Structure 1
Amino acid sequence: MTYNSYQIAAIIGVNVSTIKRWTDSGKLKCFQSVGGHRKFHLNHIAEFLKKNNKTSTDINISELVGKNIKLANAIDKENYKYLIKYSYENLISGKADRFMSLNDSLILKNYKIYDIFDKILNPTLKKIGDQWTQGNLSITEEHMASEIIKKFLTNINFQYLSINNKYNAFSFTLFEDKHDIPLHMSEAVFNHIGNIKTFNLGQNLPVDDFLNLAQKVTPNLIFISIIYIQDLDKINQEVNLLLKSFSNNETTIFLKGRTDELRLNYSNFIPVKDYNHLYNYISENIK
């Protein structure tokens, strides 16, 4: 989502002339619309707050989420049970703006991106999947919810692209695995860490095809999500081929999902428990 000067003034708690002065001086970044109006992305606001020592208590989230006192309290008190419920209800009813505004509020309130994924989005996705399996949600509702989440993830990945890149990171799924939301989440984690150029290669990617690309673009980090397994022997073959191919170099391979079901001949991989684990491992071990 984008915001205008009046909305930003209300969120930060200043007048519009102050916003104009900050943007003119370069203190607060923005971009101009086709009509020449100042527009702001979420990262512009977050960067400004961080640089100017503004705390989360300085943020007026009613400009984002409206006068929903229960929601505002849930955000302030980290009431994840309520935030999951709110996300679920708005996703299955197609209320994308409410879902987007909630997550923008969470980011401005200094929620870590991996906590949003681990403690809100993934539990919400599980609930959606469970309700669909039980016949309580239609295919349309499930698809609609997934597409709204992907739109949110695409937006934050666009806004937080790293500029000074030192490493290349690739994310993909394997044979017949079409669950690509974890790839967008891994991309967001890489982008938030910084100095990492991300390549989201999508779903159902043959490993031998990826290895051809790896001859041209060196992979420093590889993230593979394993949710759906149609042919376990095929997946074992694919993962073992990948691990063997990078067994003698410094490429770090992350496997997330159903890794305990695999029969692997190599140990040069990191089993990822959650996105908190992924973020902290990279931050602490990859300089």
Structure 2
Amino acid sequence: MDRLLSPKQVALAIGSSESSLKRWCDQGLLNTVRTAGGHRRIPVQEALRFVRERNLEVAEPLLLAMVPSTERKARRIENAAGQFVDALIADNEHACRALIMEHFQSGVSASRICDEIIAPAFHTLGEKWECHEVEIYEERSSCLTTLRLLNELREKLVPPTSSRFAMGATLEGDHYSIPATMAEIVLRSTGWNTRLLGCSIPAASLISAIEQHQPAVFWLSVSHITDTSRVVSEINQIFEVALKHRTAVVVGGRALSSEIRSKLRYSAFCDTMQHLAEFSTTLQQHAAAANPASPA
């Protein structure tokens, strides 16, 4: 269950008066839920959203499960990828967490965190491995640390209220879990209900998932290809089935060269997480325009 805070706790966290906080709730600026006893409560993710969108100073960060102010240092996101690499190699998960959460709390979008911190950090790790500057175990350990942090970031997002549903995975033989996980978090951050099916899943099983659940979006992260002709055939098969169910197929990943993409059928290719966020937001807007809310 999501952690719930009283208006008094949120007011204390952001250094505001309880009356101001309640007024914001009454105005709909902060979404609330009611307990069984009828008391108004605010999900911690909703409080974080309010803080991030308004760039508020936080007086009591621990109340919002934020990084304490004594550990929050002014950093430029341009330097964050290098700092993240250093912390990963040093196996300093605490520093990695502080860096990611600091930028998220300051209003940096999940897609920018993925594109400008995590992705370049792993590109650098790959280069260091090729130059024998890091061991395989250090790279694998870094992956596990990052996956834990991504799951923590996911928990800090406001739970989606939209009925729009997206699913995704990687194809059989592709075990790269970080890009697929980032895609799920980015879609979730733009309001989609999401389900990451996992990595290295046979195409036939992915087709079954589309037929059974009929998502509005199905994303495929392609970071590793051993047999190009097989991958091309499988993605095109998935697209054919998705088309019948009005499912948009979104593909991306470092393994999809322009030559390979020219042989594929898909709804959209996103070469960054920010492109994915923009595409998903556009789909939401088109859906809303096609199905306007009924007048009260």
Q: Which TM-score tier does this pair reach, normalised by the shorter chain?
A: 0.7 to 0.9
Give the Cα separation in 2 of the matches to 1:55 and 1:263: 40
Gaps in structure 1 of 5+ consecutive residues: 31-39
For the residues of structure 2 that align with 1:280 and 1:250, how far apart are their CA atoms?
Answer: 20
CA shift in 2, pair 1:266/1:147, >3 Å: closer
| C-alpha separation in 2, matches of 1:29 and 1:90 | 37
Letter in structure 2 aligned against 1:72 = K
Q: Name the CA shift for 1:171/1:211 in 2 (closer, same or farther; >3 Å).
A: same
Q: Which among 105, 112, 115 is matched to residue 115 of structure 1?
A: 112
Deviation at 1:156, TM superposition (A): 1.9
Are 2:230 and 1:234 equivalent residues in the alignment? yes
| In 2: Cα distance, 1:87 partner to 1:263 partner | 31
Does residue 279 (structure 1) correspond to residue 277 (structure 2)? The answer is yes
Q: 1:268 to 1:225 in 2, by over 3 A?
A: closer
The correspondence for 2:243, drawn from 247, 261, 280, is 247
Distance of 1:213 and 1:47 partners within structure 2: 32
- Opposite residue 275 of structure 2, the aligned amino acid is H
Q: Is the 8 A contact 1:59 1:108 kept in 2?
A: no
| Distance verdict in 2 for CA 1:131–1:11, change over 3 Å | farther
Name the residue aligned to 2:144: 147
1:122 and 1:266, CA in 2 relative to 1: closer, same or farther beyond 3 A? closer
Identity %: 17
Instruction: Tell me the secondary structure at the aligned position of residue 67 of structure 2.
Output: helix
2:207 to 181, 187, 211: 211
Distance 1:8 1:135 in 2: 49
> Residue 268 of structure 1: CA displacement?
3.5
Gaps in structure 2 of 5+ consecutive residues = 34-42, 288-296
**1:231-258 Cα shifts (integer Å, max 9, x gaps):** 1121112111112222344211111023
> Cα distance, 1:168 vs. partner?
1.8
CA apart distance, 1:266: 5.5
Deviation at 1:278, TM superposition (A): 0.6
8 Å Cα contact 2:89-2:138 kept in structure 1: yes
The equivalent residue for 2:180 is: 183
Of 112, 116, 131, 1:134 maps to 131
Q: TM-score, normalised by structure 2?
A: 0.75
Residue matched to 1:55: 55
Residues 7-18 of structure 1: pairs in structure 2 closer than 5 A: 12=14, 14=15
- The answer to whether 1:168 aligns with 2:165 is yes
